[in-house]
Amino acid sequence: MKKEAMPSQQQTQQPGQNSHYLAVSGLLFGAVCWGIIWYPYRLMADMGVSGMASSFYTYGITVLLASLYFAKHWRGLFKQPFSIVYLALVAGWTNLAYVLAVIDGEVMRVMLLFYLSPLWTLILAHFYLKEKTPKSGYLAIAISLLGAFIMLYDPALSPWPLPRNQAEWLALSSGIGFSLTNVLTRQARGLSLQAKSFAVWLGVLLVSLLFIPFSAAAWPSPYFFSNSQWLVMGLIAILLLLPGSYLPLMLLQAYRLKCIPFHFLARL
């Protein structure tokens, strides 16, 4: 009677290695998308559309396209745990604050403050997820703080390296929100990938609606936009739908399988 051949060590390690490479590549791709998406929003601002309005309409298009693509998942829409509300609100503020910051602020400083998110991710993962922070994690925290100090410190304005205006405070809050969104996504194990994606997109719509009364700019109706403006918003929606939101959430699912520790996400 023949014995079954045992799988080799290389065969057993390959799925984990593939998930590792997929996660790293996807996170880098998602970071690139976050780094370039500010430009079309600035184009919309130059056309006379506020960041709040352009966020509402672009995420509205995203939700519409996603609803068509994920139509079969709507059956369990009202069976989600309450934690999805927290995820939606945090992610909604994160995305809206980022758009408002890059429209009104100096892009380099806004990006710097937003990309302090590794610092907040490491801290939140340590205290909220009870993940042990390695030495390389503490090194990442030190480098983040040093870089922020060098770029933000101006003795002529303030003895403290703090944000200078509303746009920069929005960028800082967006970076913190981005880290909290990652941690909540990791912690919400009972939510499906589709539910997490929709929570992000719907969250931006909800937060935009909540802040409409505080907006000084007039709210444009759908008839206000020209064909070129609808085209720009459609391109933004596709960017949000594919790599900007859905892919990073998919990759965070890989972390649930412990392919790579969460602190590795922060250093990326």
- Check if the beta carbon of residue 259 is closer than 8 Å to that of residue 19: yes
Residue ranges per domain, the chain?
Answer: 19-267
How does DSSP assign 123-182, residue by residue? HHHHHTS-PPP-HHHHHHHHHHHHHHHHHH-BTTTBSS----SHHHHHHHHHHHHHHHHH
Average pLDDT over residues 89-99: 92
Which among 25-29, 33-37, 235-239 has the top mean pLDDT?
A: 235-239
- pTM, full prediction: 0.78
- Encode pLDDT of 4-21 as tens digits: 455 544 444 455 555 566
Retrieve residue 29's tokens: 């791709």
3-class DSSP assignment, residue 80 = coil
- Encode pLDDT of 31-52 as tens digits: 677 777 788 888 888 888 888 9
Confidence of residue 268 (pLDDT cuts 50, 70, 90): very low
- Check if the beta carbon of residue 29 is closer than 8 Å to that of residue 250: no
Q: What is the pLDDT of residue 179?
A: 87
Q: How many CA atoms lie within 13 A of 217 on its CB side?
A: 13
Q: What is the pLDDT of residue 27?
A: 65
Output 192 or 256, whichever has higher pLDDT.
Answer: 192
Which residue shows structure tokens 């976050």? 34
CA dist 179 and 181 (Å) reads 5
CA dist 194 and 76 (Å) reads 11
In the chain, alpha helices (H): 9-36, 38-46, 51-69, 83-104, 107-114, 117-127, 135-152, 166-187, 193-211, 227-239, 246-256, 262-267
Neighbour tally for 199: CB within 10 Å: 28
Q: Mean pLDDT of all residues in the chain?
A: 77
